[in-house]
Structure 1
């Protein structure tokens, strides 16, 4: 499959996801009636159809593909038709003079007509045309790789933002749970205070903790609104279509296994669009150098045509064919400078490939470490939430029985809140780490996303 066909197939995949899932009017307006949910796949599909960076990369790839056709056209003969009409001040020869014979002179007339059918063909150019076609094809492949790279970047950005909305909502939920617990404690202290079984300082302490929790919740809600609007900008939707109530929680499918580093590195070197783009640009630079070197050879052109001469009283025509050999003896150093420039550009492209390979290995190591770290953090925070929940429950029972202190209970509730918020963030960071690894390797697309991530509860 050609790079253009591959791009069209990927675009069609995104369009199918979008058309089969997105409603016709606004999403928020139909939420209650149709139960619409803005899933991660839908959000990504909309971004791929809307975001200007993807559309610009696609247009650049189309332009590069068209340049291949323009380069290949130099292999074909050039045919031109021409017609003219000229009015002279004084009578002019109606046709060329081919012999000095008074009886063979053409007529003179002030109005002359002309017509021609000409062709030209470059028989030899030192290999410049071949090199130009190879360079154009390499540039087209590089543009297609850049398009894939842009798509992967948008998928990763939308996923990160989508998870950011869910994380921010999880933080708000954790604040709500903390506020509910503190409200219950305030009511309990108020009851005991009325019975004379609690001190005023106990009520002040819980009121202060409750006010602090409510202030933190205000900040969390503001952060949630910002990230929701950011998601709307990414996918080209009104802010009311990216409210967290319309989003679907996401989880990893059955803890997908990750290949070892050697396998991932091999895959990265084979399919990463970053590396493919750098390598194709090197091919294009080398082709450009060969095209310049072709100018040191003579060029041979064939040409010919049928030329007609006419005037109001008659018409005559003649054919002509020829060949031209051309070699620029002196160009003022232009060829040497062009050769030096093309050689330097080739060196630049070669070092760019080496740099891309180094950066790919570095990014792969970072991504692998992030996956391991995030997975371990999820496991640790899950245990932390379980333990903190049990501690808070025990402290609450002890406080109710008069064996505990309010300070210990409030501290336990605060630690439980922190652990819950950290667990939500850790789970989303693990998904984001998997997505980033897929982007670095070069396998991130809608199909991969739907295969690895599923809707949670």
Structure 2
């Protein structure tokens, strides 16, 4: 497909964006989004954090469930502790027999801890919900980021095509002006002027080619791919101002990340309630069953084994632990305060982002329409300049300037489109809503 045809498809494709007809086999947006959800490290990390908080919630069940432990021991050698007693005036040393083989099971069940376990459970549940909302937000965020990076890669590809057209046109003009100089209709000034423009256009082409590689690299990084995508395929969409007409004010309720921060602050509040119960005495039921042999040193002589058990209630009251508990309580207070201020800061930023990106989007939509008009005018200007050159009313310089304006207008269309795409995606992330289906 020739350079001129590619330039025409750029303009016509902008007007017919909904058709999304592929120009060649390449990496499409749908494939990029699917790849991102499967392999993006950012998504995978957020999902892992969600699973971690789920297990932390499971861990909080320990405050309500009994604990059961088993232990066994076998002594290879021993020397008994002697206890001296006076038996009817006769001193006697009685060894305190320690079982050579001993196995026992201990159970404990907390029945009151000042509702510390309840608050730990509520805190873990809030952190889990926060992580779930953060995971949902991360997926949404990555989808929008990949969308922008995909279209930036596509725009870089289109801008490279425009730069190639510009170089070819200037090289053709350079050939013509050199021929004109030989016949005396052009001067050395005209040749030097075109040579400078060719050199500048070639530099712009190198920069455009570098931007293609860089944009593909950024897209591949967001997708979690080791190798860069070979090519991207699609059509830059034409966005209209009507997309944001119904957005009158910022609604924080749609933002999953703000919900996550709000639930995180709630989790720290419950954690503070739990930590401040360090002064409350703990009451628990305890029981132990013991199976032992203190008659001989064999571990398999079951006839000589005995059993014992004990069951009761314990009260544990922490009167002083070196300031550990009170320090943890104060730390949880500060953590809750920090979470609340982080939420407030994010809410303020979200409001400003909403206003900023809505205005940016409307601006780029206006610029896009203006650049489309510039393309049509520039195409007509090129046609008139060539007709004028044919009849001698225009010079080669006039044609050159008209074509340069056309290429700049075409590049302006692409830049305005990618500006509008980036603005609408950032507006989506500021509102938490998907406003457009690319």
Shorter-chain TM-score tier: 0.7 to 0.9
Q: Does 1:39 align with 2:28?
A: yes
Equivalent position of 1:64 in the other structure: 53
Could you say which residue in structure 2 is the equivalent of 1:357?
347
- Distance, in Å, in 1 between the alignment partners of 2:353 and 2:78 is 77
Work out the CA distance in 2 between the residues paired with 1:90 and 1:295: 42
Matches within 5 A, 1:308-387: 308-311=291-294, 312=301, 314-387=304-377
Contact 1:231 1:242 in 2 (8 A): no
Residue by residue over 1:311-338, the C-alpha shift from the partner in whole angstroms, topping out at 9 and shown as x without a partner, is 5451221231111122222334444333
Contact 2:177–2:396 (CA<8 Å) still a contact in 1? no
Q: Does 1:180 align with 2:187?
A: no
1:131 Cα offset (Å): 0.7
What are the Cα deviations for residues 375-414 of structure 1, in whole angstroms up to 9, with x where unaligned? 1111111111111222222122212211123333322222
Whether 1:141 and 2:129 are equivalent positions in the alignment is yes
Aligned-residue offset at 1:281: 1.4
Residue in structure 2 matched with residue 257 of structure 1 by the alignment = 243
Give 1:205 shift: 3.5
Unmatched segments (≥5 aa) in structure 1: 1-34, 94-105
- For the structure 1 residues 133 and 191, does the alpha-carbon distance in structure 2 shift closer, same or farther, using more than 3 Å as the test? same
Q: Aligned residue for 1:452?
A: 437
- 1:278 corresponds to 2:261: yes
Across the aligned residues of Structure 1 and Structure 2, the Cα RMSD in angstroms comes to 2.8
What residue ranges of structure 2 are gaps of 5+ in the alignment?
1-23, 83-93, 295-300
**Aligned partners of 2:428, 2:269: CA distance in 1, in Å?**
31
Aligned twin of 2:280: 297
SS at structure 2 position matched to 1:308: strand
Mapped contact 2:279–2:319 kept (Cα < 8 A): no
Work out which of the two has the higher radius of gyration on C-alpha atoms and give 1 or 2.
2
CA spacing shift, 1:202–1:345, aligned 2, 3 Å: closer
Moved over 6 A (4+): 106-111, 253-256
Deviations, residues 236-280 of structure 1 (Å, cap 9, x unaligned): 44656432xx422241578762254445x22xx113122112111
2:120 to 132, 136, 142: 132
Matched, 1:80 2:86: no
Q: Secondary structure of 1:249's partner?
A: coil
Greater shift in the superposed pair: 81-90 or 393-402: 81-90
For residues 80 and 331 of structure 1, do their structure 2 counterparts lie closer, same or farther at Cα, with a shift above 3 Å needed? closer
2:215 to 201, 207, 227: 227
- Looking at structure 1, the residues matched to 161 and 72 of structure 2 have their Cα atoms a distance apart, in angstroms, of 80
Q: What per-residue deviation string (whole Å, max 9, x for no partner) do you get for residues 199-249 of structure 1?
A: 454444434433332332222222222222332333244656432xx4222
Cα displacement (A) at 1:68: 0.4
